[in-house]
Amino acid sequence: MTKRRTLDREKVLATAEKLADEQGLEALTMPNLAKALDIRSQSLYNYVANREEMVSLTGARLMQQMYRQVVDGIIGLSGSKAYLKFADIIRDFLLAHASLSAILYHAQRFSTDSAMYHEIKRMIKLVDQVVDVDGNRLISSHVLVGAVLGYIFLETAPLYQDEDEETATANYHQMLFRLIDPVEKASGM
């Protein structure tokens, strides 16, 4: 009797996410994913059209997870508390899922009809809500997204590997506070 496969797109993407997180985005190739799933590379084309779509769908899946964590984490918060919590959740998620950082670093490669593009747009809408306090913007969403992603890209680079977690977090918060109040000493809330 032959063993029946129970492979579906969700399992393919979950495995792609795991592979990218454990071995890096460069390792997320059709042959590597097929090997991890114990199938032939050609079989992957039943679930994704090509590597670009696989990366987009994997990134979108991670963005959905991050979105849920942000929404759950900022419920009941407003103003600078929501802003700081939002930024902390994003940082923690991206540090835990380096593959998403790499995918976001190359966001310009995604077409406007890709799953990843739509998830990025959804997150930007949430950022706009977080930075808007009673009709007043704490900061531009563009500035916040750029600063957070830029900080994380640098934080994960070898340049700052000797920085301990406490110092990295303090520096991150200092940057965040200076974005909304450049004069204020960014020592915390």
Each of the 189 residues of the chain gets a pLDDT tens digit; together they read 444 568 899 999 999 999 999 998 999 999 999 999 999 999 999 999 999 999 999 999 999 999 999 999 999 998 889 999 999 999 999 999 989 999 999 889 999 999 999 999 999 999 999 888 777 888 889 999 999 999 999 988 888 888 899 999 999 999 999 998 876 444 555
Q: How far apart are CA 146 and CA 165, in angstroms?
A: 21
Q: How far apart are CA 172 and CA 186, in angstroms?
A: 10
Do 173 and 188 form a contact (C-beta atoms < 8 A)? Answer: yes
**HSE-CB of 11 using CA atoms within 13 angstroms:** 11
Q: What is the pTM of this model?
A: 0.87
Tokens representing residue 58 in the block: 């994997």
